[in-house]
Amino acid sequence: MVDVPLGSIGAAPAAAVDDVELYHPHSWLTKYVFSQDAKIIAIQYSLTALSVGLIALVLSWLMRLQLGFPGVFSFIDANAYYQFITMHGMMMVVYVLTALFLGGFGNYLIPLMVGARDMVFPYVNMLSFWIYLLAVLILVASFFTPGGPTGAGWTLYPPQAIMSGTPGGQDWGIILMLVSLMVFIIGFTMGGLNYVVTVLQARARGMTLMRMPLTVWGIFTASFMALLAFPALFVGAVMMLFDRALGTSFFMPAIAEMGQPLERSGGSPLLFQHLFWFFGHPEVYIVALPAFGIVSDLISTHARRNIFGYRMMVWALLAIGALSFVVWAHHMYVSGMNPYFGFFFATTTLIIAIPTAIKVYNWVLTLWRGDIHLTVPMLFALAFIVTFLNGGLTGLFLGNVVVDVPLSDTMFVVAHFHMVMGVAPILVIFGAIYHWYPKVTGRMLNDALGKLHFWITFLGAYAIFFPMHYLGLMGVPRRYYEIGEMSFVPPSAHMLNAFITIVALIVGAIQLVFVFNLFWSLRHGRPSGGNPWRATTLEWQTPETPPPHGNWGRELPVVHRWAYDYSVPGAAEDFLPQNQPNAQARQGTSNE
Amino acid sequence: MAVALILVLITVGSVAFHLLSPWWWTPIASNWAYIDSTIIITFWITGAVFVAVVLFMAYCVYRFRHQPGRQAHYEPESRRLELWLTVVTGVGVAAMLAPGLFVWRQFITVPQDATDVEILGQQWQWSFRLPGPDGKLGVSDTRLISPDNPLGVSREDPAGQDDVIVEGGELRLPIGKPIKALLRSVDVIHDFYVPEMRAKMDLVPGQVSYIWFTPTRTGTFEILCAELCGVGHAQMRGTVVVQEQSDYQAWLQDQASRSFARLAPAAQ
């Protein structure tokens, strides 16, 4: 232990701090609805995001039905199909994954894990959720407007996004989408500032940056990145809204529609793509870094072993975060941008594989010589490594400019990004929910249902997306309402599509078991106690479970060690909580 | 035990699927065999990493599963191991990037003797314009588009007077001659994609992008639009017919005479 010497802060007196600065709620309404408690806000964020996730799941069923059994379901016409894929994509990326990792896990875990009473700006934190909810409502409202939601693809490329050949392009769909995104970004900024400032300013005594759990590092880095990346999307959305509603031409060159020249000139469609991907690529890591952090803690806790190479893990997170801002145009190799960009962006993109690979090695090396408990959170963590590794490796195809040429815009891309930023982070979300549910509710989730949910979700998702790469390698383009007749596509590929659809229906349906488990265990789950996983981090050391408003009672915790003192030689137990001063002391003297 | 076994089965299954499944790329019909080679290199390197990491995981899950009395090994970091892994990864990445960039340089460097062919996309069809005897394409402008001038070709430019316009979605190309495809869209973004040519590039309104390739076998190949261009995206198809030089010339003569006949009244 070179970096975090035990007891380096000596016998610091416990900080007895009255939580006078917190606003304690006086009514049911201010306690559970307009709450300023980060933990309640976290639950609000999570339930909203999971609800949007269920909508997005149904949309994915509908699009898979069309792809697997084209023409069988007459209510899915081309318009509806493009609306489904667009809303599925945007909902999952922004309104589910971003909101759940940062608004959900960030709010719950940051104050508890760094030993704070709450976020530093509780009122702004509350506003953040309500503005997020407004953004969700605006987005969902577009289903009920004339013309329906936009069908421009989640990338919303102009000019087609605001033209009549695209569903919602000349109706309300695209307007509501852009407004919803802008509202979301406003709400996120309020939350994001909170997460960053809380980590920097409100850590407990002794919680140095290099003692923070990787979960906090991941969420912190992702929030910081989101604060830098989302503004690019915001400007893009404002400009496109002007193009659509006021007739400006930011993204509109001189073009014709249905054989008639339009009154537009001078704009650049590529400008939007640069703005979009300047946001869009960091966004991938905004989703991935919290997952990296959380999975590190899950693996370490359930393998009863310190995370391997902690310092390298932190630097890798920061390196990935920084590099992710200079790789965006790898989404645009075949966009018609200056082809010389390809050299630069292929190089930066492949360099990012190095810190990412280090993270994978260190997760696996944490398992090595561990004491692996195959709990449900651990199973999800293992599945994350497999799917993330798979999706990360196919990223080396797409990042390597000339290899991207035949694969770009095919099902290979769809398979790649679902594996790497869909399946992998969602597996972490599930693992994290099984892991922290006891802290949130005081009860364990049902184990048998959890394992059933795990195996079908993991093996099913792998069976959906692994073969899909080969459809793309064959040349099947993405975003095709129907493949129809393609001379290079054998009939067996249609069978593969039908197979994928059937598995997708099953994997989707099994999520109901998970939802059932969430509600059933609330009342019938086994009582968990305060620290069922025997974990070291501060959130498991609260005086009460679930922790009340203010988290810590009268005394804030004092931190004496890093977050990964598992199986320390000579210690009485196989874990030493971060707030335990003496390595030889028995667990339980400092709390409960 | 079961978990370790399933991890092994996933690895074996994935490799078996890769080797045995009938789904693979369509045989190439252009000079870009280098792209296929780079993909193969990438498959080998990434495949080896995938197999190694997942099998090692399976080993760990089996060997270090919880048993009474087991204690994990406490070792926060190992600089040597981490450095070693970083260097190996760096070498692997370089082994993929170097050939990739090498081929990319060829991909964007158009040979001097390439023939210009304009490929024009609009919702939801393909049109083509070939240079006439002068070997040059005339200028065009989206603002000139009208029902009798769907491509917006300028009638003032002498270089455009002999251009051959092909509507109806069938492009013919001679075998063995490098083609520089000039890509232009009059409305939204499209993408010219011929899987057998390993060629793909967006057509962006307001600019002309390009891609080059040399057809290496005769036959009929499908043109797909690979960039979402509205509700008719999946129906935006065309064909490339690669012919022997003599067949191609005969077809071009025939087309040229028809184009002149059509343009003549307007050109007066």
Residue B225 belongs to domain with CATH number: 2.60.40.420
- Tell me which architecture the domain covering A33-248 has in CATH: Up-down Bundle (1.20)
How close is the nearest chain B Cα to the Cα of A260, in Å?
6
Give domain status of residue B31, yes or no. Answer: yes
Question: In chain B, whose CA is at the least distance from the CA of A483?
Answer: B234
How close is the nearest chain A Cα to the Cα of B97, in Å?
6
A331 in reach of chain B (CB within 8 A): no
pLDDT class of B260 with cuts at 50, 70, 90:
low
Ramachandran region, residue B152 (left: φ > 0; alpha: ψ -120 to 50; beta: rest): left
Question: Are B102 and B119 members of one domain?
Answer: no
Q: Does A584 score more than 70 pLDDT?
A: no
Question: Are B233 and B212 members of one domain?
Answer: yes
Question: Are B89 and B135 members of one domain?
Answer: no
Rounded mean pLDDT, A126-148: 96
Chain B 28-67, CB below 8 Å of chain A: which residues? 34-35, 38-39, 42, 45-46, 49-50, 53-54, 56-57, 60-61, 64-66
Across the interface, whether the CB atoms of B39 and A336 are under 8 A apart is answered: no
A153 in reach of chain B (CB within 8 A): yes
**Lowest-pLDDT range, A356-360, A586-590, B39-43, B223-227?**
A586-590
Q: Does A239 score more than 60 pLDDT?
A: yes
**A193 contacts A128 by C-beta, under 8 angstroms:** no
Question: Are B104 and B179 members of one domain?
Answer: no
Question: In chain A, whose CA is at the least distance from the CA of B45?
Answer: A393
Q: What is the pLDDT of residues A414-436, one digit of tens each?
A: 999 999 999 999 999 999 999 99
Q: Does A274 score more than 80 pLDDT?
A: yes
Across the interface, whether the CB atoms of A165 and B64 are under 8 A apart is answered: no
Identify the pLDDT of residue A570.
Answer: 87
Q: What is the pLDDT of residues B96-154, one digit of tens each?
A: 899 999 999 999 999 999 999 999 999 999 999 998 888 888 888 888 888 888 888 88
SS3 category, A556: strand
How close is the nearest chain A Cα to the Cα of B103, in Å?
7
Across the interface, whether the CB atoms of A256 and B107 are under 8 A apart is answered: no
Question: In chain A, whose CA is at the least distance from the CA of B17?
Answer: A467
Name the residue among A309, A473, A487 with its Cβ closest to that of B24.
A473
**Lowest-pLDDT range, A85-94, A397-406, B259-268?**
B259-268
Give the CA dihedral A18, A10, A218, B4, nearest 10 degrees. Answer: -120
Cα separation of A568 and A591, whole Å? 20
Identify the pLDDT of residue A5.
Answer: 45
**A325 contacts A390 by C-beta, under 8 angstroms:** no
Q: Which residues of B touch A385 (CB under 8 A)?
A: 53, 57
How does A179-190 read in b/e, with b if 16+ C-beta sit within 10 Å? bbbbbbbbbbbb
Q: How many domains does chain B have?
A: 2
CA distances from A236 to A154, A158, A180, A276, B101 (A): 14, 10, 13, 7, 31
Within 8 A by CB and 6+ apart from A485, the residues are none
Distance of alpha carbon A330 from the chain centroid = 21
Q: Which residues of B touch A389 (CB under 8 A)?
A: 49-50, 53-54
Across the interface, whether the CB atoms of A492 and B22 are under 8 A apart is answered: yes
Identify the pLDDT of residue A591.
Answer: 42
A493 in reach of chain B (CB within 8 A): yes
Question: In chain B, whose CA is at the least distance from the CA of A332?
Answer: B202
Cα separation of A431 and A299, whole Å? 10
Across the interface, whether the CB atoms of A401 and B104 are under 8 A apart is answered: yes
DSSP state of B31: S
Cα separation of B83 and B64, whole Å? 25
Give domain status of residue B73, yes or no. Answer: no
Question: Are B98 and B181 members of one domain?
Answer: no
Looking up tokens 């191991």 gives: B81
Question: In chain A, whose CA is at the least distance from the CA of B83?
Answer: A358
User: What is the per-residue DSSP string for B144-180?
Assistant: G-BTTBTT-B-SS-GGGTTPEEE-SSEEEEETTS-EE
Give domain status of residue B72, yes or no. Answer: no
Identify the pLDDT of residue B161.
Answer: 81
Identify the pLDDT of residue B262.
Answer: 52
Give domain status of residue B40, yes or no. Answer: yes
Question: Are B132 and B97 members of one domain?
Answer: no
A495 in reach of chain B (CB within 8 A): no
Question: Are B103 and B152 members of one domain?
Answer: no
- Give backbone dihedrals phi and psi of B241, rounded to 5 degrees, phi first: -110, 115
Cα separation of A563 and A575, whole Å? 10
Q: Does A83 score more than 60 pLDDT?
A: yes
With a pLDDT cut of 70, the percent of chain A lying above it is 95
Q: What is the pLDDT of residues B203-226, one digit of tens each?
A: 999 999 999 999 999 999 999 999
> From the candidates B140, B145, B231, which should be mutated to test the interface with A, based on the most A CB atoms within 10 A?
B231
Question: Are B93 and B181 members of one domain?
Answer: no
How close is the nearest chain A Cα to the Cα of B166, in Å?
17
Domain, as residue range, for B50: 2-65+78-108
Give domain status of residue B203, yes or no. Answer: yes
Q: Does A14 score more than 70 pLDDT?
A: no
pLDDT class of A230 with cuts at 50, 70, 90:
very high
Question: In chain B, whose CA is at the least distance from the CA of A476?
Answer: B195
Identify the pLDDT of residue B255.
Answer: 83
Across the interface, whether the CB atoms of A389 and B50 are under 8 A apart is answered: yes
ipTM value, please give it. Answer: 0.94
Across the interface, whether the CB atoms of B222 and A467 are under 8 A apart is answered: no
Rounded mean pLDDT, A84-113: 97
How close is the nearest chain A Cα to the Cα of B217, in Å?
15
Cα separation of A363 and A387, whole Å? 13
Q: Does A364 score more than 90 pLDDT?
A: yes
A181 in reach of chain B (CB within 8 A): no
Across the interface, whether the CB atoms of A160 and B188 are under 8 A apart is answered: yes
Identify the pLDDT of residue B155.
Answer: 83
Q: Which residues of A touch B61 (CB under 8 A)?
A: 367, 372, 374, 382
Identify the pLDDT of residue A28.
Answer: 85
Across the interface, whether the CB atoms of B226 and A409 are under 8 A apart is answered: yes
How close is the nearest chain A Cα to the Cα of B124, in Å?
10
pLDDT class of B259 with cuts at 50, 70, 90:
low
Across the interface, whether the CB atoms of A567 and B74 are under 8 A apart is answered: yes
Across the interface, whether the CB atoms of B70 and A367 are under 8 A apart is answered: no
A534 in reach of chain B (CB within 8 A): no
Numbered ranges of CATH 1.20.210.10 in chain A: 33-248
Structure token pair of residue B107? 């991909």
Q: What is the pLDDT of residues A298-307, one digit of tens each?
A: 999 999 999 9
**A379 contacts A451 by C-beta, under 8 angstroms:** yes
Average pLDDT, chain B: 91
Q: What is the pLDDT of residues B145-167, one digit of tens each?
A: 888 888 888 888 888 888 888 98
Give domain status of residue B70, yes or no. Answer: no
